[in-house]
């Protein structure tokens, strides 16, 4: 199976390694020169549960040749459009293009570039991080839920599920994946933005009574907007899910904290709380907490001079 990983940062590298070790023909596509150079020169170094070096082809998306059977998108949300534009030549009539980015609204962007019959949407709780260019930290286990957005493509979506499972990626074909995407967005929309703004761990945010009040208000706004859009969401279930994760991940700083506070990189806020507050405006729903979190994160980006 010819697989391209479009966006070979932390998650793209993890998936690339696992899929390649399962015998697939994997090529990494990325635009970060230092990362490309490091992997070309010394291979991709894996640290964490296992230590090894994996040799995978890596190139810029515009340099790729030959249609893929599967393209897995793992850019940050704000890089998605450019990546979809750049991979056009390697998307053939049978290429499945699978979006695993966190956040909301990606399906609409995908449809602007890719026929609906080729699109798979999904969500994952696998994790990874980059220690430096060419070095990926892979720890723990995860899971994936996915669905072909065109019902006629279920068999194709199930075939991709089998390929992912062949690589130990613990995938489930889901007959309605959208609620799971919203649920994960709600996890990110509470702890990522909260910890990035307050410069604290997940445990510290959730141990505060005031912090918990903010978390609950954000969940309520996500659920109100999701329900108004026809997504099946249950506020108690989502609250319990967010609370469970907050306990397991208590000592950690979430990725938005690392992006914004530690590395001074742009955040995905516009695709989390920002997406909810934009949808809410169109629906005539009030979402003051999501709107404020979005504005404050952008303020912090401005303070750090991040463009
Ligand atoms: P990432 O930041 O590691 O990689 C995304 C892109 O940014 C890649 O093109 C990468 O090369 C580039 N990049 C990374 N560090 C850079 C640097 N210092 N300078 C310049 N370019 C750099 O992103 P990720 O963590 O792999 O996430 C990809 C998507 O998956 C996002 O939507 C994210 O929310 C989602 N996601 C991440 C995790 C996780 O544990 N990391 C888990 C689930 C979902």
Local confidence band at 257 (pLDDT 50, 70, 90 cut-offs): very high
- The pLDDT value given to residue 258: 93
Candidates 38, 60, 76: which one to mutate for ligand 1, based on the most atoms within 8 Å of Cβ? 76
Over its C-alpha atoms, the chain yields an Rg (Å, rounded) of 19
Instruction: Name the CATH topology of 178-303.
Output: 1.10.1040
d(CA 283, ligand 1 centre) in Å: 31
The tokens 């005539």 sit on which residue? Answer: 284
Does 186 contact ligand 1 (Cβ within 6 A)? no
- The pLDDT value given to residue 44: 98
Does 134 contact ligand 1 (Cβ within 6 A)? no
Residue spans per domain, the chain:
2-173, 178-303
12-22 residue pLDDT tens: 999 999 999 99
212-242 residue pLDDT tens: 999 999 999 999 999 999 999 999 999 999 9
d(CA 154, ligand 1 centre) in Å: 28
Does 74 contact ligand 1 (Cβ within 6 A)? yes
55-66 residue pLDDT tens: 999 999 999 999
User: Averaged over 255-271, what is the pLDDT?
Assistant: 96
Does 124 contact ligand 1 (Cβ within 6 A)? yes
Q: Helix axis angle, 235-248 relative to 178-187, nearest 10°?
A: 50
Does 122 contact ligand 1 (Cβ within 6 A)? no
- The pLDDT value given to residue 301: 97
141-179 residue pLDDT tens: 999 999 999 999 999 999 999 999 999 999 999 999 999
Three-state SS for the chain is CEEEEECCCHHHHHHHHHHHHCCCEEEEECCCHHHHHHHHHHCEEEEECCCEEECCCEECHHHCCCCCCEEEECCCHHHHHHHHHHCHHHCCCCCEEEECCCCCCHHHHHHHHCCHHHEEEEEECCCCEEEECCEEEECCCCCEEEEECCHHHHHHHHHHHHHHHHCCCCEEECCCCHHHHHHHHHHHHHHHHHHHHHCCCHHHHHHCHHHHHHHHHHHHHHHHHHHHCCCCCCHHHHHHHHHHHHHHCCCCCCHHHHHHHHCCCCCCHHHCHHHHHHHHHHHCCCCHHHHHHHHHHHHHHHHCCCC
Which residues are designated catalytic?
A: 184
Local confidence band at 33 (pLDDT 50, 70, 90 cut-offs): very high
d(CA 236, ligand 1 centre) in Å: 30
- The pLDDT value given to residue 203: 98
Same fold, 2-173 and 178-303: no
Query: With pLDDT > 90 as the criterion, what percentage of the chain qualifies?
Result: 100
Does 255 contact ligand 1 (Cβ within 6 A)? yes
Local confidence band at 196 (pLDDT 50, 70, 90 cut-offs): very high
Does 32 contact ligand 1 (Cβ within 6 A)? yes
Candidates 5, 8, 10, 137: which one to mutate for ligand 1, based on the most atoms within 8 Å of Cβ? 10
Sign of CA dihedral 98, 104, 108, 109: negative
Q: Whose CA is nearest to atom 44 of ligand 1?
A: 102
- The pLDDT value given to residue 220: 98
CA atoms within 13 A on the CB side of 108: 6
Domain 2-173 in CATH: superfamily? NAD(P)-binding Rossmann-like Domain (3.40.50.720)
- Residue 22 has phi, psi (to 5 degrees) of -85, 5
């Amino acid at each position: 199976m010819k697989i391209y990983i479009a966006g070979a940062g932390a998650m793209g590298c993890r998936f690339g390694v696992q899929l390649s070790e399962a015998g697939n023909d994997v090529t990494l596509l990325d635009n970060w020169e230092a990362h490309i150079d490091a992997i070309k020169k010394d291979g991709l170094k894996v640290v964490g549960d296992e230590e090894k070096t994996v040799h995978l082809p890596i190139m810029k998306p515009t340099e790729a040749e030959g249609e893929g059977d599967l393209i897995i998108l793992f850019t940050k949300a704000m890089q998605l459009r450019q990546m979809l534009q750049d991979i056009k030549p390697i998307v053939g009539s049978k290429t499945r293009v699978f979006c695993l980015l966190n956040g909301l609204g990606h399906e609409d962007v995908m449809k602007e570039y890719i026929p609906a019959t080729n699109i798979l949407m999904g969500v994952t709780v696998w994790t990874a991080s980059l220690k430096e260019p060419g070095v990926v930290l892979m720890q723990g286990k995860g899971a994936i839920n996915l669905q072909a957005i065109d019902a006629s493509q279920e068999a194709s979506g199930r075939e991709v599920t089998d390929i992912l499972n062949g690589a130990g990626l613990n995938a489930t074909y889901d007959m309605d994946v959208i609620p799971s995407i919203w649920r994960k967005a709600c996890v990110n929309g509470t702890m990522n933005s909260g910890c990035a703004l307050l410069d604290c761990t997940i445990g510290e945010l959730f141990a505060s009574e005031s912090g918990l009040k903010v978390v609950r208000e954000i969940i309520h706004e996500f659920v109100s907007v999701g329900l108004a859009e026809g997504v099946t969401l249950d506020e108690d279930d989502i609250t319990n899910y967010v609370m469970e994760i907050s306990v397991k991940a208590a000592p950690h700083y979430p990725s938005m904290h690392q992006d914004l506070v530690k590395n001074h990189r742009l955040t995905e806020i516009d695709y989390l709380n920002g997406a909810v507050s934009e949808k809410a405006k169109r629906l005539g729903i009030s979402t003051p907490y999501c709107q404020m979190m979005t504005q404050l994160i952008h303020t912090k980006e401005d303070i750090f001079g991040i463009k």
